Structure 1
Amino acid sequence: MKQFINLYTDELKPIVLRLSLARSLVVAVALAILLLVAWIVLKSLASERQATADEMNQQLQQLQQQQTQLQAQVQQKSPNQQLIDQSDKLSRQIQQQMELN
């Protein structure tokens, strides 16, 4: 009967590298590509948001100018004298009716 003796100890077993140089390079390149794609996407989103903000600011300025123009028009309007006379006449009639009662 033959007997086998294992003379290999853990120290003599070959070390298996779980992360070799080639794998490290692949991971680094993949990470760099992922970061580049994320940067491009974020830059695109930021430029879209900036364009939207610029457009909204332009609309706001136009509306403010329109508001200023309308306020100037309102201030330039003088009351209609005919309506004032009619209002005074009606007020006098109401006053006379109240005095009669």
Structure 2
Amino acid sequence: MITVQEAFRRFFLAKGDFGDYRCNNIKYVTADKKRGTGGEIVTLQKARLLGQYKPPKSDEPKKIRRNPWRDFYDEDTGRYYRIHIDLILSINEIQIA
């Protein structure tokens, strides 16, 4: 098991070749408080992180939390997904703590 922060650094922020989109397998749970729906496990086979992810600074207090939502693009389906980082179960078959 690894933390979400470590998983993002290892799989999405690693330097790659030019044109390397760093596609990874993500498994997460759906949830919607407003509609009272969710609980489905969704797997994205070729998910690519969109935007620029900036890991928290080491001196930043733990109680201050940045935006917990991340945008992904699935290369297989061509759809965009907005996923809360607390709902991610695994990245590349490695469980998230």
TM-score (norm 1): 0.14
- Larger Rg computed on CA atoms: 1
Greater percentage in strand: 2
TM-score by length of 2: 0.14
More helix by share: 1
Higher relative contact order, structure no. (Cα contacts within 8 Å, ≥ 6 residues apart): 2
